[in-house]
Amino acid sequence: MNPVIIVIVVTVIHKGWSTALSMWWKYEGFAGPDRWGEFWSMCRDGKQQSPININPEELLYDPNLKHLEINPEHNINVNGILENTENDITFRLDDIAEQQMNITQGPLSYVYRITELKLHYGSEDSIGSEHHIGGRSFPAELQIMGYNADLYRNFTEAMSGNKGLAIISVLIDIGDEINRAFDVFKRKFNSISQLRSQTKIHAFSIKGLLPPVETNYITYEGSLTQPGCQETATWIIYNKPVYFAQQQLLDLRAIVNQNWFHSNARRTMPLNQRVVRTNINFRKKSRLCTMEREMRYQVNSLFQK
Ligand SMILES: *[C@@H]1O[C@H](CO)[C@@H](O)[C@H](O)[C@H]1NC(C)=O
Ligand SMILES: *[C@@H]1O[C@H](CO)[C@@H](O)[C@H](O)[C@H]1NC(C)=O
């Protein structure tokens, strides 16, 4: 019998089916990403999977892409729960109206409500982020997940629905200064040293973990990077990293009971004809890769008829 099946059967006896399914997958070893497809077929058969490697030479400049908006415009501090899920560190916002934060505009046609943040990182600086830029990975990646609040009632429902999710990706690099927002998490790391342990977080600033509002971004249609790999996510990747002090990354790596040794990043997936768009205007560069010319052509041909 296949070792994955044995683990599932044993876990089911102890914990019930849905907990078993959500717990068996890992980032390394016999339950690693190459086996996810045995239970979640999209992880194996999907053609629009995430993460991807972003090749700066192949970005398409789209002049229709507006700036991303995160409302309210002013900074608010939110409360929630920080959890050691064993596969990552997840922060879940409390579900109350006073701390509602929405992602809109940019490439999005709907309003997406932020519900959780996930941290992906590695055992050393050269690995950790899920998305790669020009073949390079960053020491960590923060993913801010929102669900489509116009069409769905909650994250779970939106996860499998058309245009269900928007995920903002912030690549983390090492800088000289301490990131104050992240320090609010860091002070609680001691409380999440047990498997699946949780702790309350007060007054956390999501905007403190974002680059400046006017920062450009890259966007494409992809999937969740964990099982079931549903292809319902519009990804928005900021064009500038956010900096953590080296010590902050060391503190993150020191959290015990994470079920991986190297990193909790899924490997990058094939692009398969998808377009990766950006609002970075490369006009001044010699290798112009833009939709502008083609759009003008379309407009002209309509008017000339
Ligand atoms: C977020 O979006 C919802 C639904 O569209 C809306 O009711 C709410 O007022 C928005 N909140 C903010 C802070 O913009
Ligand atoms: C999400 O919404 C669905 C449909 O209304 C409901 O059945 C489910 O319990 C909700 N899940 C959560 C986690 O609230």
The values of phi and psi at residue 182, to 5°, are: -65, -30
What number is the average pLDDT over the span 127-146?
A: 96
What does the pLDDT read at residue 229? 97
104 alpha carbon – ligand 1 mean position (Å): 10
pLDDT value at 46 more than 50: yes
Name the closest-CA residue to atom 10, ligand 1. 102
**Which of 3.10.200.10, 3.40.50.300, 1.20.1250.20, 3.60.20.10 would CATH assign to domain 41-282?**
3.10.200.10
The mean predicted confidence, pLDDT, of the chain is 88
Q: E strands within the chain?
A: 53-54, 60-61, 68-71, 77-84, 89-93, 102-105, 112-121, 132-133, 140-148, 165-175, 198-205, 217-222, 233-238, 242-245, 277-278
Name the closest-CA residue to atom 1, ligand 2. 154
Q: Which ligand 2 atom minimizes the distance to the CA of 153?
A: 2
What number is the average pLDDT over the span 127-133?
A: 96
> What's the CA gap between 212 and 165, in Å, rounded?
23
Residues with C-beta less than 6 Å from any ligand 1 atom = 71-72, 100, 102, 111, 149
155 alpha carbon – ligand 2 mean position (Å): 8
What number is the average pLDDT over the span 176-185?
A: 94
Pocket probe for ligand 1: among 75, 100, 105, the residue whose CB has the most ligand atoms within 8 Å is 100
Q: Is 152 one of the annotated active-site residues of the chain?
A: yes
Name the closest-CA residue to atom 6, ligand 2. 157
Nearest ligand to the CA atom of 155: 2
Q: Which ligand 2 atom minimizes the distance to the CA of 152?
A: 2
Q: To 10 degrees, the CA torsion angle through 39, 148, 211, 216?
A: 100
Name the closest-CA residue to atom 13, ligand 2. 156
Q: Give yes or no for a contact between 38 and 270, defined as CB atoms under 8 angstroms apart.
A: no
In percent, how much of the chain has pLDDT > 90? 74
Choice among 112, 152, 217, 220 that is catalytic: 152
Q: Give yes or no for a contact between 138 and 241, defined as CB atoms under 8 angstroms apart.
A: yes
pLDDT value at 297 more than 50: no
Q: Rounded to two decimals, what is the model's pTM?
A: 0.88
Pocket probe for ligand 1: among 70, 71, 74, the residue whose CB has the most ligand atoms within 8 Å is 71
Residues with C-beta less than 6 Å from any ligand 2 atom = 153-154, 156-157
Domain boundaries, the chain: 41-282
The pLDDT tens digits of the residues spanning 90-111 come to 999 999 988 899 999 999 999 9
167 alpha carbon – ligand 1 mean position (Å): 17
What does the pLDDT read at residue 1? 57
Residues composing the chain: 305
What does the pLDDT read at residue 3? 58
Q: Name the residue type at position 273.
A: Q
The pLDDT tens digits of the residues spanning 238-284 come to 999 999 999 999 999 999 988 899 999 999 999 999 999 999 886 65
The values of phi and psi at residue 14, to 5°, are: -85, -40
